[in-house]
Chains A and B, each alone.
Chain A
Amino acid sequence: MSLVMPVFACIIVIYGLFSRTAVFDAFLAGAREGLQTLLTIAPTITGLVFAVELLKASGAAEMICAAVEPAASLLGFPKEIVPMALLRPVSGSGSGALLISLFEDCGTDSFAGRVASVLAGSSETTFYATAMYFGCVNVKNIRHTLFAALAADFAALVASVITVRLFFY
Chain B
Amino acid sequence: MIDLLNYIWSGIIIISVLCSIFLGNGDLLSKAMIDSGASAVSLLMTMAGILCLWSGIMKIASESGFTTLLARAFSPLLRPLFPRLDKNSEAFRCITMNVTSNLLGLGSTATPFGLKAMKELYKLGGESDTATNEMVIFVVMNTASLQLLPSTLGALRQSYGSDAPFEIIVPVWISSACALFVALTIACVFNCRSNQGEALKCRL
Residues of A within 8 A of B (CB): 1-2, 4-5, 8-9, 12-13, 15-16, 19, 21, 23, 26-31, 33-35, 37-38, 41-42, 45-60, 63, 87, 90-91, 94, 97, 99-100, 103-104, 107-109, 113-114, 117-134, 136-145, 147-149, 151-156, 158-160, 163-164, 166-168
Main secondary structure of the interface of B (DSSP, over half): helix
Complex interface: chain A residues within 8 A of B178 (CB):
122, 155-156, 158-159
Interface string of B16-45 (1 = CB under 8 A from A): 110110010100110111011101110110
Bound form: Cα–Cα A18–B121 in Å? 35
Nearest first, the 7 A-B pairs at minimum CB distance are: A30-B59, A34-B55, A57-B32, A152-B183, A163-B171, A121-B172, A31-B56
B170 at the interface (CB under 8 A from A): yes
B106 (CB) vs chain A CBs: closest residue: A30
Chain A interface secondary structure, helix, strand, loop or mixed? Answer: helix
- Contacts A27-B57, A57-B31 given: A145-B131 contact, CB under 8 Å? yes
Closest B residue to A60 by beta carbon equals: B19
- B side interface size, CB within 8 A: 101
Closest A residue by C-beta to B105:
A8
Please tell me if the beta carbons of B55 and A137 are within 8 angstroms of each other in the complex: no
Minimum C-beta distance from B27 to chain A (A):
9
B108 at the interface (CB under 8 A from A): yes
**Residue in B139, B145, B194 whose CB lies within 8 Å of A121:** B145
B170 touches A143 (CB 8 A): no
Q: Which of B73-81, B82-90, B155-163 lies at the binding interface?
A: B155-163
**Contact of A145 with B139 at beta-carbon distance under 8 Å, contacts A1-B164, A124-B144 already known:** yes
A54-B16 contact in complex given A31-B56, A109-B162, A155-B178, C-beta closer than 8 Å: yes
Task: From B23, B58, B179, give the contact of A156 (CB < 8 A).
Answer: B179
Q: Answer whether residue B202 sits at the interface, using C-beta atoms and an 8 A cutoff.
A: no
With the chains together, A146 CA to B51 CA distance in Å? 30
Is A45 a contact partner of B40 (Cβ separation < 8 A)? yes
Given A1-B167, A142-B136, A159-B179, verify A26-B64 contact (CB < 8 Å): yes
Minimum C-beta distance from B37 to chain A (A)? 7
Chain A positions within 8 Å of B23 at CB level:
58-59
Residues of B within 8 A of A (CB): 1, 4-5, 8-9, 12-13, 15-17, 19-20, 23, 25, 28-29, 31-33, 35-37, 39-41, 43-44, 47-48, 51-61, 63-66, 69, 108, 111, 114-115, 118-119, 121-122, 128-131, 135-136, 138-140, 142-145, 147, 149-151, 153-154, 156-157, 160-172, 174-176, 178-184, 186-187, 190, 194
Contacts A31-B56, A109-B167 aside, 10 further interface pairs with beta carbons under 8 A come to: A30-B56, A31-B52, A45-B44, A121-B175, A122-B145, A122-B172, A122-B175, A123-B145, A132-B111, A167-B167
**Whole-angstrom distance between the alpha carbons of A108 and B163 in the complex?**
9
Q: A26-B63, A45-B43, A45-B44 are in contact. Are A148 and B186 (CB under 8 A)?
A: yes
Residues on the A chain within 8 Å of B184, using CB: 148
Q: Which residues of B contact A90 (CB under 8 A)?
A: 1, 4-5, 8
Q: A4: which B residues are within 8 A, CB to CB?
A: 149, 166, 169
Residues in B with CB closer than 8 Å to A126 are: 143
Bound CA–CA A19/B128 (angstroms): 42
- Chain A residues in 8 Å Cβ range of B66: 12, 15-16, 19
Q: List 10 A-B contacts (CB under 8 A).
A: A26-B60, A34-B51, A38-B52, A51-B9, A57-B29, A121-B172, A122-B175, A143-B131, A144-B190, A152-B183
